[in-house]
Structure 1
């Protein structure tokens, strides 16, 4: 599945297309995309030339094109077990479609069930495993198992690819009905030994509007001091430009406190939206057509593109090797 042998994929809960960039860089063709946020749709359209479908819940799974890989950075929600308990008490099988009904994960399940792609990649926050008293994680794994997919998962940190500490959980699956259970997949691909430094992604000159006002800077210092006195760890993060940053979040637009850039003879400043794009590994030609507030939200919700690219290559190598029957996999070096 390399070179001219193009594969197809769909991009669900697409955001601004970070996962799409990764799979397109591996010669993939996106045949369907879905994203409900209107501002993310604008950014997606500007960069990929198409408007993603809005609410995936309104799309019949039979109408989605056939595809090789399903890609989704889905939101996590609590799974209600009340309906399952009721059905069990009546002697009825609940099954994965019933257990996930009413959640956005249900849309992934019903599409996998109908289209049966060769594989999938799902991405979520690290705490997905403990979400809702671990019920969410249990239902997800059981549902994918019942779908007859061989599942692999691991928490990976983006700092191997960008100067940012960013842990996310990645779930990979392969169709057992096509490949059986003896699937040789591993997240232990090779990465660069020389990690990037924050200073590599910073602009030399930045507009004054990104520098914190005296009032905001004083507030953040007072807030941090108050919590230190209580023995708490809350407070702003003054980044070391020779190292890496904290995790960029969607709330960065509020005050930028988790990642502040020190400045000589001046208050610290926020990252610019372009610097946030670089911090997530987006290419320089990626267009940012929305306001700073929306851009901060979008990049804070996105993925580390080169990390997803490494995982995508590993998925594709695994499928290629299974289809060729040689059983040997090459590690990925980016």
Structure 2
């Protein structure tokens, strides 16, 4: 694969940094190494990072090449990974890893609470781009690969994972560790078994409770409690709307504490008193015309809803009023169609994209990616470096940051109390 090359100049000196092809872990190794340059975690990545630094920096002469990397190049690399909207807290108090990281919703919450991320994994290339733009770090790729797992350092405090759920082949078996092989939960469990973090925080869709007639969740809890040795209270379905964002988004949270910490009770956080509605996240200025529906598309949605209504079904588009909360934002067209809004501030109805029909005159539009970011609790300085289609997918797949943070705070308080 072709490599991109950029040339940087400092103090009149030029050097080249080659950005390595996406499918390997070299960018992840380098950024993790640089992020941990001032602490002991650096050593875990140093051997490979040293070799990669020699590959990507073009030296003026052989004498300069004897050093790991020229001071100018190293300082610029360090600057690039640290000059980001959401850097590691200077005086961090705990360490965590971020698996199935997406765009870093878990990381945002944990850093807000004083945590340092020492390893992250996310295979989607566009999500990696968003992650790097905001945290200065490229996630490692496929966590099912042993090579990727080998980069996970020891002695971190919390394992975070919003892993996809899959059915387990447990017919006639006890539903233990080995029965989860071939699923992504197995890889999470394998890491827990090897690294033994003090606590775990897992997030999944609400449907995990009934997935495969409840066998999936039953197996997960059995593995965590009996095979891996963690105190795991009853999982709880948490709704993001109770934690400061105007979105009806229910997700199941599973938390656990290593048995030697002797934690024997856990209380999930209470709902926030302040309630918000869509007007709290609505764009303050007129949005581009491209977000407004065409007359033909709008009519198609109306017809579709009427057909289902005639059969007694509640399927179809929904318009969210300013004083209401949104439906759950999810990947796919219905995630947007179930969250249309009325915004009559539009003045120019000239189409900016290829559409059939005209721009509708009722002011009906899709929410913008920035509005979806706010629905998930991401601040406005969160960079969205990808096209709209990828942005909708990334925010639809993300965790709701405030709900994660409220629960994580309870976990961290318990860990610190036991140390």
Same fold (TM over 0.5): yes
- Find the aligned partners of 1:133 and 1:306 in 2 and give their Cα distance: 30
The runs of 5 or more residues in structure 1 that have no matched partner are 89-93, 324-334
**Residue 138 of structure 2 corresponds to residue 34 of structure 1:** no
Note the 1:59-98 alignment, pairs <5 A.
59-60=146-147, 61=149, 63-66=151-154, 67-81=156-170, 85=172, 96-98=176-178
- Find the aligned partners of 1:25 and 1:111 in 2 and give their Cα distance: 25
Higher relative contact order (CA 8 A, sep 6+): 1
TM-score normalized by structure 2?
0.71
Q: Deviations over 1:200-226 (max 9, x none)?
A: 111131000000111110000111111
- Find the aligned partners of 2:202 and 2:339 in 1 and give their Cα distance: 27
- Find the aligned partners of 1:124 and 1:150 in 2 and give their Cα distance: 19
2:309 is paired with a residue whose SS is: helix
1:276 is paired with a residue whose SS is: helix
Note the 1:1-334 alignment, pairs <5 A.
4=91, 6-60=93-147, 61=149, 63-66=151-154, 67-81=156-170, 85=172, 96-146=176-226, 147-152=228-233, 153-160=235-242, 161-176=244-259, 178-180=260-262, 182-187=263-268, 189-203=269-283, 204-252=285-333, 256-264=336-344, 265-323=361-419
The 8 Å contact of residues 329 and 336 in structure 2, kept in 1 or not, is answered as: no
Query: How many corresponding residue pairs?
Result: 309
* CA shift in 2, pair 1:256/1:63, >3 Å: closer
Q: Deviations over 1:52-80 (max 9, x none)?
A: 01000113545411210000000011111
TM-score normalized by structure 1?
0.88
Larger Rg, first or second structure (1 or 2): 2
The 8 Å contact of residues 62 and 114 in structure 1, kept in 2 or not, is answered as: no
The runs of 5 or more residues in structure 2 that have no matched partner are 1-88, 345-360
- Find the aligned partners of 1:192 and 1:154 in 2 and give their Cα distance: 17
RMSD over equivalenced CA pairs, Å: 1.8
* CA shift in 2, pair 1:267/1:222, >3 Å: farther
- Find the aligned partners of 1:72 and 1:208 in 2 and give their Cα distance: 38
- Find the aligned partners of 1:235 and 1:166 in 2 and give their Cα distance: 18
Shift of 1:5: 5.6
Shift of 1:6: 1.4
- Find the aligned partners of 2:388 and 2:90 in 1 and give their Cα distance: 37
- Find the aligned partners of 2:383 and 2:343 in 1 and give their Cα distance: 27
The 8 Å contact of residues 205 and 252 in structure 2, kept in 1 or not, is answered as: yes
The 8 Å contact of residues 238 and 252 in structure 2, kept in 1 or not, is answered as: yes
- Find the aligned partners of 2:340 and 2:167 in 1 and give their Cα distance: 34
- Find the aligned partners of 1:113 and 1:207 in 2 and give their Cα distance: 50
